Amino acid sequence: MAAVAQKATLAQKLKRWEGLPYWLILPTLAYLALFFGWPMIKSFELAFQDGGDWTLEPFRTMVNDIEFSRAFRFTLLLIVFIVPVQFVLALVMALLVNAKLRGRGIFLYIFLLPLAISDLAAGIVWSSMFTELGYLNTVLERIGLIDAPYIWINFQSESLLLLTVVVAEIWRSTALIMIILVAGLQGIPRDYTEAAEVFGASFFQRVRHVILPMLKPSIQVALLLRIILAFEVFSTVIAITGRGATVLAAEAWRWETANMDENVAAAYASLILVLSVASAVLVLGLLRTPREQMQR
Amino acid sequence: MTQGRAAFLFARALLYASAVILSLWVLIPIYFITLAAFSTQDAVYHYPKNLVPRDLSTETMSFFLHSDGVADSFQRSVYVAALTLLFSLGVGTPAGYAIARFPFRGADTFRLAVVSTRAFPIVILSIPLAVTFIRWGIDDSVLGVSLAHSALALPFAVLVTSSVFAGISIELEEAAMTLGCSRLAAFRKIALPLALPGLAAAAIFVFIISWNEVFAASILTLRNPTLPAQLLSVLNESTLPFKFAGGFFLLAPSLLVIFVIRKYIFNMWGRVVR
């Protein structure tokens, strides 16, 4: 009897609060509308305006700017070179973390370190490595691979500039991909890999035929996130190459801060948004898992 | 049998070797920037560089910390990060609690909306906000930057706090209410204390998100930059000692942060990206 009465009061108490969740999410909705949704709309508006009139002028200025094609090209090249290397590296790290090694906690901590390092700090760190009188040249000279300091940050060579930024970005952002892959790995039932092992599958066969297919959703998320974040990279490029190389986000920043032209800056920002969303759709489409395949 | 054993040992050795090599790949650049930050200014210009800690000195660090604008921008960075923490967790924690506790209509849509904000780059937020903040009279201010940083950190705060609360059994709160607690008291006395460590980890990470952010900070400030914005603006004219010491100073908190929150990271990011 008493229990029933108690149940009833609990139900009453809960019932009184039916509208509560909506009140709880209201501040978040309001904040996101004000500081996320509205600026985004405003950004497009700015990109299509010039002195209050509707025009395509900001986009024309953007496309005709001498830095535009260089920035566009470099941004895409960064993604093309970073993503594959980074995924292999992150997968190896994730598999190592998942293997029951002694000192696993220490390895995990070390692999995670770059997660909280900013792109600016990573850029400065790697400029200390790559600069002409820097650490990389010292090490290479010490082990006898070079006789005189090699110029890594060479404004004449796009491929060298690309290499230095790619290395720094892989160093900085692999931790995030690894986390997603580790979370995915932990979701794979041990029976699957054990069964494959019993039937004589080698380690690489297990990775290829069991682990990778089961990791597909995690890989999709990681790829999505990675590509979106790649469009935002800019201070690494500035810290390492100075004005030697540029990317779309760096151009948005320069038009806003140095040229004081918010319309062209907004045009760059809109372009970045469109490219991010387009590549998100592309990734989702390419890696789509058909329903029948999932049920198999 | 012995052959199998040898193969096993070889495979193990290979695993440890790869783990060590990858650890060195992460650690060596951190080691070198630390070395640079704690050598004399002369040593920073010297080539070939010292590869082992010799002639350690705080001269370079102290030169950096006493450079124009560094102390002020450091202080502003801390204020901005603290306000960001306050805003994003203050606004986001209730929403996180709502997602974790109530199966309300529209919960999935709300969650999806919050997750999808990740697809929108900060680049697109800061430029119009610069215009708006001038109109509001909070341009070039700590408040302005922290409002923008909170927009960046809020989705993260909502998802992380929801995963923290989801990890605490709802029955505990219901039991307290059955025993006469009000809804609010049940939250305050049961759910909140249990959630505190997870919330603290979320707070630390929100702090570092703001501490690291440079694009919005540099666009929204002019004479009152945060530390990363200040560094970025003088980067191409600054001396090597200034640059390296600044890089180390920017990076140092992250080493500590990852150590403190390492147990929560998978829970936090696992939920955020799913």
- pLDDT per residue as tens digits for the range A32-50: 999 989 998 999 889 998 7
For chain A, positions 49-88, list CB contacts with chain B under 8 A: none
Residue B256 sits at φ, ψ, to 5 deg, of: -70, -45
* Alpha-carbon gap, residue A211 to A36, rounded angstroms: 38
* Alpha-carbon gap, residue A241 to A255, rounded angstroms: 18
Q: Decide if A112 and B25 are in contact by the 8 Å CB cutoff.
A: no
Taking the CA of residue A227 and the nearest CA in chain B, the distance in Å comes to 10
Provide, rounded to the nearest whole percent, the portion of chain B with pLDDT above 90.
55
Q: Which residue of A has its CA nearest to B104?
A: A21
Q: Which residue has the tokens 């009279």?
A: B137
- Please give the pLDDT value at position A2: 54
pLDDT at B4 over 50: yes
A12 touches chain B (CB under 8 A): no
- Angle subtended at Cα A95 by Cα A94 and Cα A101, rounded to the nearest 5 degrees: 105
Taking the CA of residue A155 and the nearest CA in chain B, the distance in Å comes to 15
* Alpha-carbon gap, residue B216 to B146, rounded angstroms: 10
B13 touches chain A (CB under 8 A): no
Q: Which residue of A has its CA nearest to B124?
A: A269
Report the SS3 class of residue B56. strand
Question: How confident is the model over A78-100, as a mean pLDDT?
Answer: 92
Tokens of A257: 């801060």
Q: How confident is the model at residue B180 (pLDDT cuts 50, 70, 90)?
A: confident
In contact, A166 and A230? CB cutoff 8 Å: no
SS (H, E, C) chain A: CHHHHHHHHHHHHHHCCCCHHHHHHHHHHHHHHHHHHHHHHHHHHHHCEECCEECCHHHHHHHHCCCHHHHHHHHHHHHHHHHHHHHHHHHHHHHHHHCCCCCHHHHHHHHHHHHHCCHHHHHHHHHHHHCCCCHHHHHHHHCCCCCCCCCCCCCCCHHHHHHHHHHHHHHHHHHHHHHHHHHHHHCCCHHHHHHHHHCCCCHHHHHHHHHHHHHHHHHHHHHHHHHHHHCCCCHHHHHHHCCCCCCHHHHHHHHHHCCCCHHHHHHHHHHHHHHHHHHHHHHHHHCCCCHHHHHC
More confident call, B3 vs A66: A66
Q: Give the best residue of B52, B133, B172, B215 to mutate against chain A (max A CB count within 10 A).
A: B215
Q: Decide if B178 and A9 are in contact by the 8 Å CB cutoff.
A: yes
B266 touches chain A (CB under 8 A): yes
A278 touches chain B (CB under 8 A): no
In contact, A27 and B94? CB cutoff 8 Å: yes
Q: How confident is the model at residue B163 (pLDDT cuts 50, 70, 90)?
A: confident
Q: Give the best residue of A124, A142, A276 to mutate against chain B (max B CB count within 10 A).
A: A124
Q: What is the mean pLDDT of chain B?
A: 89
Question: How confident is the model over A66-95, as a mean pLDDT?
Answer: 94
pLDDT tens digits, one per residue of B115-135: 888 777 788 889 999 989 999
Q: Which residues of A touch B26 (CB under 8 A)?
A: 110-111, 113-114, 171
pLDDT tens digits, one per residue of B45-89: 988 888 888 878 999 999 999 999 999 999 999 999 999 999 999
* Alpha-carbon gap, residue A88 to B235, rounded angstroms: 33
Nearest to A257 among B30, B174, B218 (CB): B218
For chain B, positions 147-176, list CB contacts with chain A under 8 A: 147-148, 150-151, 154-155, 158, 174
Q: Please give the single-letter amino acid code of residue B5.
A: R
In contact, B227 and B70? CB cutoff 8 Å: yes
- Please give the pLDDT value at position A289: 58
Size of interface A-B (CB pairs under 8 A): 295
Q: Decide if A116 and B208 are in contact by the 8 Å CB cutoff.
A: yes
Q: Decide if A21 and B258 are in contact by the 8 Å CB cutoff.
A: no
For chain B, positions 90-149, list CB contacts with chain A under 8 A: 91-92, 94-95, 97-99, 101-102, 104, 107, 110, 113-114, 117-132, 147-148
Q: Which residues of B touch A35 (CB under 8 A)?
A: 125, 129, 147-148, 150-151
* Alpha-carbon gap, residue A111 to B245, rounded angstroms: 23
Q: Is the dihedral of CA A145, A149, A152, A154 positive or negative?
A: negative
Q: Decide if B48 and A138 are in contact by the 8 Å CB cutoff.
A: yes
Q: Which residue has the tokens 């390895």?
A: A107
Confidence (pTM): 0.90
- Please give the pLDDT value at position B7: 81
Q: What is the mean pLDDT of chain A?
A: 87
Q: How far is CA B217 from the centre of its chain?
A: 15
pLDDT tens digits, one per residue of A211-260: 888 888 888 888 888 888 889 889 999 999 988 899 999 999 999 998 88
In contact, B231 and B13? CB cutoff 8 Å: no
pLDDT at A1 over 60: no
- Please give the pLDDT value at position A271: 94
pLDDT tens digits, one per residue of B17-42: 999 999 999 999 999 999 999 999 88
* Alpha-carbon gap, residue B262 to A181, rounded angstroms: 16
- Please give the pLDDT value at position B103: 83
A130 touches chain B (CB under 8 A): no
Q: Which residues of A touch B257 (CB under 8 A)?
A: 116
In contact, A104 and A97? CB cutoff 8 Å: yes
In contact, B107 and B253? CB cutoff 8 Å: no
Q: Looking at A30-34, B3-7, B94-98, which range is the least confident one?
A: B3-7
pLDDT at B218 over 90: yes
Q: Which residues of B touch A106 (CB under 8 A)?
A: 23
Q: Which residues of A touch B158 (CB under 8 A)?
A: 28
Q: Which residue of A has its CA nearest to B233?
A: A257
Q: Name the DSSP class of B26.
A: H
